[in-house]
Amino acid sequence: MNKKIDNIVKVKGLIFAAAGLSFLLSVSLWFTGSKEQGLYVGIWVPSICSAGSLLLVGGRNG
């Protein structure tokens, strides 16, 4: 049981890291003058979080 919890914590960390990196990339693109690319990458943040929550909820049913 502890191994399953450890795996869930790792997955949550990876999701959080991916969303954080996307956010940082978006902000850096925005402030370096690539505003359209910054907006596009910024849309990834909620998408990554949504996909991650779906994966985590789906894993509990199995």
How far, in Å, CA of 31 to CA of 26, rounded?
9
Q: Are 24 and 44 in contact (CB under 8 A)?
A: no
pLDDT for 6:
85
How far, in Å, CA of 21 to CA of 41, rounded?
10
Q: 48 burial class (0-12, 13-18, 19+ CB within 10 angstroms)?
A: buried
How far, in Å, CA of 2 to CA of 29, rounded?
40
Q: Which residues of the chain fall below pLDDT 50?
A: none
Q: Are 15 and 52 in contact (CB under 8 A)?
A: yes
